[in-house]
Amino acid sequence: MAPYDDWNKIDEEEDEELQDAAYFEGKRDVILFCIDCSESMLELRDDPDYEDTQTCHLFTVLEAAVQIQKKKVIVGPNDAVGIMLFNTTRKSETSRTQSELKRGTYAYQPISPLSAPTIQETIQLLDAFREDPEELRRAFPPVKGKKVPMGDVFTSCNWVLRDGAPKTATKRVFLITDEDDPHSGPGSQQLITSARTTLIDLTQAGVTVEPFFISTPEKPFDVSKFYSSVLLPTNLADEDEIDSSDPSVLPESISISRIEDLLAQMRFHEVPKRAHFSIPFKLAEGLSIGVKGYGLVTEQKKGTYKYFIDLGERMEVASVRTVYIDEAREAEVDKNKMVYGMSLGYTAAAAEEDEEDESKIDSNVRIVKVGKRPFYTAEDIRSFRTLGLEPGIKLLGFKDRNELAFEDNIKHSQFIYPDELAYSGSKRTFSALIKSLVKKKKIGLVLALTRKNATPMFYALLPQEEKVDEGGWNDPAGFHLIPLPFADDIRAAAVEKGFRASDELKDAARAWIDKLSVKNGAYPPDSYPNPALAYHNAQLEASAFREQYDPDSFEDLTLPKYEMIHKRAGALMKAWKRALVNDKSADVVTAPGKLAGTKRKAASLFPLSLLF
């Protein structure tokens, strides 16, 4: 991990990779769990995982909330989370900074930055429930009879968020309920209208509602009863207030699942969907559509440490600031006054002093006549990087799918999806392009400048059709934007010549490869949580909870399944090793592996090292 200092040293202009990260770090995420606490949510049932244990929906939901909090506290230490319950008679205490909420709603944890104590508080509550299943019902008594109007719930959400969430954050409400028809009976139309109106108010305050509906065989969830007429198609909030790059079309976010899958569902929504860029995609002169770019794969790194100062009663983070100074003057220089040039020592002017007494030379200065400026402005150097292009994707043409080689890779891909709100007709055009390329087994070749500060790159445009997958995750339709290496990035093969295996030896290898192949397998990212990251985070959590960490409890899921390997292929591997020792291919006294570009005779490297 790079020490914090190094991170700061990277120039804003010069490291795109960092900007990607900064984009995510810069924007805070606020989640308010808004959980139905009515009778059916508290109803005890047998725990499917543990014998003689009882659980209830509310318990599962809170447990999921804790998991999400634990993840967020590490990934986004500046994010904030709150928990609000509705359909409970418990009353919120009002305070100077908190509004009084609507009847039947209770702010269990007001929106606040995450911390170890708040997470531990919920964990303790859940532990108490395990001891005594009545605990949750005692803590949050359900309302008897008529349900709280959903309009009041949304209004309370609005107030809770208003009190606690910073203006600029991405604000989301995770609405969790198993009730698909809260307002049946007379007067329902009015309640629907008020729910809808209050929901509009909420979205206009920049809040997105992401519903998680719980469906059970006894009580299937039917959105058309109530919610389809309440939930809004689009985010209506004011552009000044919200992350304007994120349309958060609300209906994308509805999920209906079994209670057991709730956590998995929430995981999909854990990170707010944010576009990295929103730019035009020019198919031809006069034919452009709008697209947004997303990072679907990016290396998740360990957090960076910070510097703290002990203020006695608390530890405070020190802000780090990088300033540029003229050393000889010890004077800080304003960014606007900076100009850019090449390191002195290479430049003509610096040498004027060269022939004089060394000690007198101030090698850090280039002296020029007044009015002359052999330096560039920040804008100049940006234009050298962008070659004057404006952000956008430009189609260059199409190639066969197999032209995209394995080795033509340099960094992670991005994903683009049409943006109908920038250009109407984007979706149908984009969709037609995907279908056409898939049918013809083609890829696109594009030149793109994805952001103002980026550098232009060539990308392969790999179409992805929507895939309906039983496994729960659907591949969305779109294009993967795969950066191609430049000639500057490609290294020559370091070895040009080597000894090769005989067919017999190859067949011996083939035997165990056959045994170790997964027929319809592929690389399964989901099976490999990053062990180093998990190990780090577990220790971080223990440190925050003031607990001792037990390294033995850690399991590294990325280790090969040794037992399985030896069971299936052990004997064949042994046979191959025997064949290798007896193989004659290597039994020659001429030069083996020839390093490219060297003429070194390698005969001296014999005899063979007998490794096996």
Partner 1 sequence: MPAERAGYTVTMFLVDTSPSMGTTRTVELPAGPNGEERTAEMTNLEWALQFVKLKIQDMVCTLCIFSSSPQYLLQIFNGRKTDQCGVIVFGSEETDNIIHDKNGGYDNVSEYIPIGHPNAGTLAKLDALEPSEFCGDPIDALIVGIETQAAYLSSKRTWTRKIVIVTDGESPIEVEDWEATVEKMNGLDISLTLIGVDFDDEGFGFTEPDKSHMKRLNEEFYRMFTSSLKLGIVGTCEEALQETARPDIKQTKSTLMGTILRLGEVDTMGEEAVEIIVKTSKCTALSRPKSWKKFAIRESVDEDKEAESDKDKQKEKEKETKKKEDAARVAYAQLRMRTEYYVDRNGEVDEDGDFKMDDSDSITLLDKDDSEEPKEKIKEEQLEKVEKEQLVRGFKYGTTYAPCPDGQFPRLPTKKGIDLCGFFPAKNFRRELSLGEIQYVWGDPASAQQQVALSSIVQAMYEKNVMAIARWVTKDGMDPKMGVLTPVVFDEVDCLLWTQMPFADDVRKYTFASLDHLVSKKGEVLTEHPFIPTEEQREAMDNFVDAMDLMDAGERDDEGNRQPWFDTLLSYNPAIHRTKQAMFHCAVVSDIATNPLPSPHPELLKYFDPPKRVLKRSRDAIEDCKSAFKVKQVPKKVAKTRKDGHAHAQDEDDDLLLLERKQPSMRAVQAQVSIIQASSSNQQSPSRSKAKTDDSETEEEDEEEELLPDSVKKPTASPPARNKQPLPTPARSLSPEVDPGRAPGRIIGSTYPLADFKKNLAQGDVVTKAVEDLSTVITEIAMRPFSSRRSKELLECMMAMRDTSLNEDEIDAWNSFLTDLKDKCTSKPGNQEFWSQVKDAGRALSLISDKEAKKHGGASSITEEEVDKFLA
Q: Which of residues 257-316 bind partner 1 (CB under 8 A)?
A: 257-258, 261, 264-265, 267-269, 271, 273, 275, 278-280, 282-290, 292, 294-300, 302-303, 305-311, 314-316
Total number of residues binding partner 1 (CB under 8 A)? 324
Closest CA to 587 of 502, 520, 518: 502
Instruction: Give yes or no for residue 255 binding partner 1 (CB under 8 A).
Output: yes
The interface with partner 1 within residues 536-565 (CB under 8 A) comprises 536, 539-541, 543-544, 551, 554, 556, 558-562, 565
Q: Which of 91, 345, 547, 582 binds partner 1 (CB under 8 A)?
A: 345
User: At 110, phi and psi to the nearest 5?
Assistant: -60, 160
412: DSSP letter: -
Q: Which of 31, 173, 237, 448 binds partner 1 (CB under 8 A)?
A: 237
Which residues, at least 6 apart from 206, have a Cβ–Cβ distance to it below 8 Å? 171, 237, 238, 241, 242
- Identify whether 607 is preceded by a cis peptide bond (ω within 30 of 0): yes
Distance CA 260, CA 275 (A): 30
Instruction: Give yes or no for residue 239 binding partner 1 (CB under 8 A).
Output: yes
Q: Which of 48, 131, 185, 612 binds partner 1 (CB under 8 A)?
A: 612
Q: Which of 39, 141, 398, 453 binds partner 1 (CB under 8 A)?
A: 398
CB of 594 to partner 1, least distance (A): 7
CB of 134 to partner 1, least distance (A): 29
Count of C-beta atoms within a 10 Å radius of residue 288: 20
Which secondary structure element, helix H or strand E, spans residue 292, and what is its range?
strand 287-294
CB of 580 to partner 1, least distance (A): 5
The interface with partner 1 within residues 465-524 (CB under 8 A) comprises 466, 468-470, 472-474, 476-478, 480, 482, 484-502, 505-510, 512-514, 516-523
Q: Which of 45, 91, 439, 601 binds partner 1 (CB under 8 A)?
A: 439
CB of 144 to partner 1, least distance (A): 29
Q: Which stretch binds partner 1 (CB under 8 A): 46-54, 100-108, 137-145, 600-608?
A: 600-608
User: What does the longest C-alpha to C-alpha distance in the chain come to?
Assistant: 98
Dihedral sign computed on CA atoms, order 498, 501, 503, 508: negative
Q: Which is nearer to partner 1, 88 or 177 (CB)?
A: 177
Q: Are 515 and 447 in contact (CB under 8 A)?
A: no
Q: Which of 93, 218, 343, 550 binds partner 1 (CB under 8 A)?
A: 343
Which residues, at least 6 apart from 193, have a Cβ–Cβ distance to it below 8 Å? none
Q: Which of 365, 547, 582, 601 binds partner 1 (CB under 8 A)?
A: 365
Q: Which of 123, 126, 143, 586 binds partner 1 (CB under 8 A)?
A: 586
Distance CA 343, CA 93 (A): 63
The interface with partner 1 within residues 373-392 (CB under 8 A) comprises 373-377, 379-381, 384-388, 390-392
Q: Which is nearer to partner 1, 146 or 301 (CB)?
A: 301
| Cα distances (angstroms) measured from residue 404 to each of 51, 337, 397, 431 | 53, 45, 14, 22
Q: Which stretch binds partner 1 (CB under 8 A): 37-45, 47-55, 58-66, 226-234?
A: 226-234
Q: Which stretch binds partner 1 (CB under 8 A): 60-68, 99-107, 142-150, 219-227?
A: 219-227
The interface with partner 1 within residues 101-160 (CB under 8 A) comprises 113-119
* Alpha helices per DSSP H over 76-187: 116-131, 135-139, 150-164
Distance CA 13, CA 15 (A): 6
Distance CA 426, CA 421 (A): 8
Query: Which positions from 519 to 538 touch partner 1 by CB under 8 A, shown as an x/- string?
Result: xxxxx-xxxxxxxxx-xx--
Q: Which is nearer to partner 1, 132 or 596 (CB)?
A: 596
Q: Which is nearer to partner 1, 45 or 333 (CB)?
A: 333
HSE of 80 in the Cβ direction (CA atoms, 13 Å)?
22
User: At 60, phi and psi to the nearest 5?
Assistant: -60, -40
Q: Which is nearer to partner 1, 130 or 196 (CB)?
A: 196
Which residues, at least 6 apart from 374, have a Cβ–Cβ distance to it below 8 Å? 341, 347, 349, 366, 368
